[in-house]
A and B are shown apart, each in its own frame.
Chain A
C-alpha cells in the first residue's frame, strides 16, 4: 500500500487528524481501565462464600425487654420447632452470616498476648448444627463435640474456656504453612489457647476487607442464644424456600409470641443485596464504554465522510487514471489504520498512567498487560468498521467526475 501519499494528505489536515487520534487515544485508555474495573467488580460479585447459598434462609428476631433468663432454652425450642417445618433439613443460631455487613472479628495468633497478631478473622459462633446448616466443607479434622460447647455468657465473663476452634484453610495456610494445623494451639480468646480440631475449606466474612484477609474466618464452640446473635439459619431444599419462609412467623410465635421477627430472607437475596453497589457500578462502566465507543465511531465516520466529500475530484481523477474501487477503499482503510495506530500507542501510555493514578488513589489493582492488546484490537476494529461506510461511498464515485468542474 502507498503510505506516502496518505501521510502527506494527513499532514495537510494535521489538526483534524491529531484530534481524531487523541480521541481514539482517550477512548482506548478509558475503555481499557473501565473494562479492567468491570472485571474486578464481577470477580468480587462472584466471590465464593463456602456455604450452601441456595439452600439457606436467614431469620432475624429480637425480644422486647432485656433480662431473659431462659433465652438459651427458648433458642433450643425455636430451633427444634423450625426444624419441624416440612422441607427444613437443619437449623442453627448464629452471630453473623457472610455478606451481611455488620461483623464480629478477633485477632488470632500462635503465641499468647501477641503484640502484632498475624491474623484478624471473622468470629463465627452459634449452635451445635452451625457447620452442618451452613454446609461448609470440612477438609481436615472434625466438627465440635457437644461437650466442647460453652454458653455465651460464660465466654463473656471468662468463667469457662473454649477448648477448641475450627479455622478456614486461609488461616491454616497463614499460621501453619506447610504443616498440618490439627492439634496446634492458637490464641483467640482468653489466656488459654484453643486447639485446632478442624479445617474448613472456606467461610466468607460478613464484610468486605482488604483482598488477602478475605479468607480469614474461624468458628468457636460457643452457644449463642437469639438474644445475642438475633439470627437463625435454616437449611432448606431450594425449591421449598418460599413455603418454609411463609411458615416461620407462625412457628416462632407458637413458641413465644413476644418476639419481633424483623427479617426472613433467602441467602440468594442477601448476596444480591450485598453486591448491589458493585453491580450498579459495573453496569455504569459498561454503559460508559459503549457510549464512548459509539461517540468515537461516529467521530471517525463524520471525519471520513468530510474527507470523502472534499476529495471527490481527487478520487475521480485517481479512478480515471486506473485505480480500482478496491484501491480507493483500501486508501481510506489505511488512513484510518494509521490514525488508529497513533491513537492506540498514545492510548496505551495513557491507560497505564491512569491505572497508576487509580492504584494510588482508589486502591485499584495493577492493570494486567493483556488488556492493552485487547484495547488495541477493539479500537482498530472499531475504526475499520466505522470507516467502511464512507470508504465505500468514496469507491462509488464515478471516474467521469474528474472531467467535470465541481
Chain B
C-alpha cells in the first residue's frame, strides 16, 4: 500500500512540478537557516567543561571602600592580589588557582627566528588539574615551585614546535623577557569553549601558549593583560598591597555541601578582614559555578540568539506557506479523493495517502535543508569571527536537523491531509 501511495504522490508532483519545487525549497531554506543558527548557538552555549562545570566555582569578594556601597549590589568581578594569595594559601577548597592573563616576548634560540610576543597565563599549581589541561609530556609545576618563584614554565604544543621543531622539550629552557625558564610540561592541543576562566581574554580564541607560576611572573614583572579596577591611587597597581582588582580566583569543590561550607568560609574571611580594618564593607561574597558564572556574565552573544530567533521565524513562515499550498492542492483533488472514497478507500487510508505525499515534500526539504545548513556553516566558518572555526555539525546537531526536518514535514502535512480526507464522496460525485 505504501508504495502505491508513493506512486500516487509522484504522479501528483509531476502534475505541478513548479509548485512542488517551491514547497520543497521553502522548507529547505527554513530548515537550513534554522539549523545553521542553532548550531552556532549550540556551540556557543555548550557546557565548556562537561562533568566538571558543577564543581568549579568562581570567587567574588567585596574589598572596595565604603564609599559607593549599596546593599545588594554585586561585588567586583575580580579579586585583589592580597585576597587571592591569602585564599590560595588558606587552601580550604579541594583545589584552588589564582590567575591573570599576560603577554610576554619569547626569544627563540633557533637561528633566523625573530623574537615574538605570545599570550600566556600567570597562575598557580592547581590550574592544570582544575581545568583538565591535557599534558602531552611532563606535568604542571608544584606548589613548592609557586612558593619558591621557580623559573619553570608549561608551554603549548604549538609553541614547543615553533621554538624547537619538536614537542620533546621537557627539561629544555625558553627565554621569556630575557630570563630562561625550564620547561616542565607540554600541553596537547586544548580548547575550552569559551575560555571561561578569564572572560576578558579572547573567549573563543585558539588559547594561550605559555604558563608561568604567578609568583614567578611578579618577580620577572611580566606584562599582564585584562581588566583592572583600582579605587585608590597606588604606586604599583600590581603590588601585593595595591587596592586594585585584577586576579581571577577559581576553586574546585567536590560537592554542594563543600560549596556551602566554602561560602561560609568566605563570609568569615570578609568579617575578619573588616575587623582587621582592611575591608570597609559588610561581607558581600559570591561563589558561582561555571554555568552560573557564564549566565551572570551573559557570555552567549546576543546576536547569536537574535539570529536564531530570526531563522526560526523564517522557518515558521516557510512552514505556513507550505501548509497553505498543500491544503489548496489537496482540496483541488476533492474529486479524485471522492472517487477513491466511493470505491471503498477509508478516510484513514486517504489521510495516510495525503500524509505520505506531504511527508515526501517535507523529507525532500529536510534533506536539502541539511545540505543548506552544511553550506551555511561553511560560510560561518569563513567569517572572520573568533568562534568561526567551531561552527561544525556534530552528531547531536545532525540528529536534531533530521528531527526538525521530520517534524516540519509532519506539521506541514497534518492539517492539509486531515482536511483532505474530510471530503464527502457523494457530494463530489454528484456535482460532475
Contact = CB atoms under 8 A, between A and B. Distances in A.
Interface of A: 13, 15-16, 19-20, 22-23, 26-27, 30, 34, 37, 62, 64-67, 113, 115-116, 156-158, 189-190, 260, 262, 276-277, 280-281, 284-285, 288, 291-292, 295-296, 298-299, 302-303, 305-307, 309-310, 358, 362-363
Contact of B177 (A66, A158, A303, A306): A66
Contacts of B209: none
B328 A303 contact: yes
B256 interface: no
A62 B105 contact: yes
A16 B316 contact: no
Contacts of A285: 310
Contacts of B68: 115-116
B116 A295 contact: no
A147 B303 CA distance: 48
A299 B323 CA distance: 10
Given A16-B331, A276-B384, A302 B325 contact: yes
B311 interface: yes
A98 to B, nearest CB: 19
Of the candidates B19, B221, B328, the one having the most CB atoms from chain A within 10 angstroms of its own CB is: B328
A306 B332 contact: yes
A260 B313 contact: no
B5 interface: no
A281 B385 CA distance: 12
Interface string B319-359: 01101110111011000000000000000000000000000
Interface residues of B, number: 51
A67 B237 CA distance: 16
Contacts of B19: 302, 305
Contacts of B320: 19, 22-23, 26, 299
A190 B117 contact: no
Contact of B328 (A115, A302, A363): A302
Contacts of B303: 277, 281
B390 interface: no
Interface in B170-226: 177-178, 221-223
Contacts of B324: 16, 19-20, 23, 299, 302-303
Given A16-B324, A295-B29, A64 B317 contact: no
A201 to B, nearest CB: 29
B22 A298 contact: yes
A310 B321 CA distance: 19
Contacts of A66: 177, 221-223
Contacts of A362: 302, 305-306
B67 interface: yes
B interface secondary structure, majority: helix
Contacts of A189: 233
B149 interface: no
Of the candidates B19, B236, B305, B310, the one having the most CB atoms from chain A within 10 angstroms of its own CB is: B310
Contacts of A262: 117
B87 interface: no
A302 B234 CA distance: 73
B56 interface: no
B33 interface: yes
B26 A260 contact: no
B105 A15 contact: no
Contacts of A302: 19, 22, 324-325, 328
Nearest to B107: A64
Given A288-B310, A291-B314, A302-B22, A15 B332 contact: no
Interface string B375-408: 0000000011100000000000000000000000
Contacts of B165: none
Contacts of B307: 281, 284
Contacts of A64: 105, 107, 115, 177-178
B235 interface: yes
Given A19-B323, A156-B234, A362-B302, 20 more contacts: A15-B327, A16-B327, A30-B317, A62-B223, A66-B221, A66-B223, A156-B235, A158-B233, A280-B385, A284-B307, A295-B29, A295-B317, A298-B22, A298-B26, A302-B324, A306-B325, A306-B328, A307-B328, A358-B306, A363-B302
Interface in B278-316: 302-303, 305-307, 310-311, 313-314, 316
B162 interface: no
A307 B177 CA distance: 79
A358 B309 CA distance: 10
B317 A23 contact: yes
B310 A34 contact: yes
B314 to A, nearest CB: 6
A26 B316 contact: yes
Nearest to B29: A291
14 contacts: A15-B419, A26-B316, A30-B314, A65-B177, A66-B222, A67-B221, A157-B235, A158-B235, A260-B115, A288-B310, A295-B29, A299-B325, A302-B324, A306-B325
